[in-house]
Structure 1
Amino acid sequence: MTHAPFVSSEAETRSPGDGCFSTSIEANGDFCSSALRLSGLAGALLGWRPGEFWSATPAELAAVFGAMRPEREAVAGADELARLKELFPDG
């Protein structure tokens, strides 16, 4: 993602998340807390500025953060579950 040129107008620098810092946080608590956490991660891990975060689509965020996650290990099959049940009985 390319960096946007510097914008001097306050109205042009506001982002959709600016309402999260006002009293509306109670009405939008889930959105605000998630957006603030993700924007902080994007800034810390990716070096994104707020405008770059708010310009990204959810699919782009998912792709970038998904690529940073380690590969998942295979899910245990029926044979592995039976072996584990024998090793660690619940009874």
Structure 2
Amino acid sequence: MALLSLGGFWLGTRAVSQASAAPAVPSHAGLPWVTVHEGDTLWTIADAMAPDEGDPGAVVTEIKRLNGLPSSLIRPGSRLYVPSAHALP
């Protein structure tokens, strides 16, 4: 019985430590979003959203942050939240 209790305690502490290690993703309430299509990249999406900025790198960085993306890899059919200041009309 003691081993069973210790095992449950150990599993509980692992779950808490793993949950706290997950990156915090902000709430997406009210943010506009786009659906990724075949051939889209973060760069082309950001460029379409902010064509007057010249270098869309800052918008790419913000899209990655909003969606908790560790890299620039995106897949067709995915929904990406975008900064509201750069929403497509």
Would you call these one fold, judging by a TM-score over 0.5?
no
The TM-score normalised by the length of structure 1 is 0.25
The TM-score normalised by the length of structure 2 is 0.25
Higher share of residues assigned strand: 2
Question: Looking at both structures, which has the greater relative contact order when contacts are Cα pairs under 8 Å and sequence separation is at least 6?
Answer: 2
Higher share of residues assigned helix: 1
Report the structure number with the largest CA radius of gyration.
Answer: 1
